Amino acid sequence: MIFVDMMFGCIPNAKWKHEEACHMFGYDVEELCTFAESIGLKRAWLQNNGRQTAHFDLTRNKRALAVARGAEEVSLMELPALLNRLRDNNRAPKQMELEV
């Protein structure tokens, strides 16, 4: 299962030129990366690889595409409980080799 949280404001920088973003994450890092590729992201853009918080940052358009392709929306209120389930079920993403 793939999840996206809500859009939030952020400060653009050299690596992220947008003024807002959200996170896309899931139970399995391979599933997450495969899904990310299906919406036009590169595996090399995976952040926090090998940790419970492995995720991709998304723009508003990529978030909409992810939801249209089946990602489940998670509110900021639901997010902590979901992250706890990931940890408690020992289903946190495992680190994988990424091609650059």
Q: What percent of the chain has pLDDT over 70?
A: 77
Convert the pLDDT of each residue in 34-54 to its tens digit. 999 999 999 999 987 666 678
The model's pTM is: 0.76
pLDDT averaged over every residue in the chain: 81
**Given this model, what pLDDT does residue 19 score?**
72
**Given this model, what pLDDT does residue 100 score?**
39
**Given this model, what pLDDT does residue 10 score?**
66
Q: Identify whether the C-beta of residue 6 lies closer than 8 Å to the C-beta of residue 39.
A: no
Question: What separation, in Å, do the N-terminal and C-terminal C-alpha atoms of the chain show?
Answer: 25
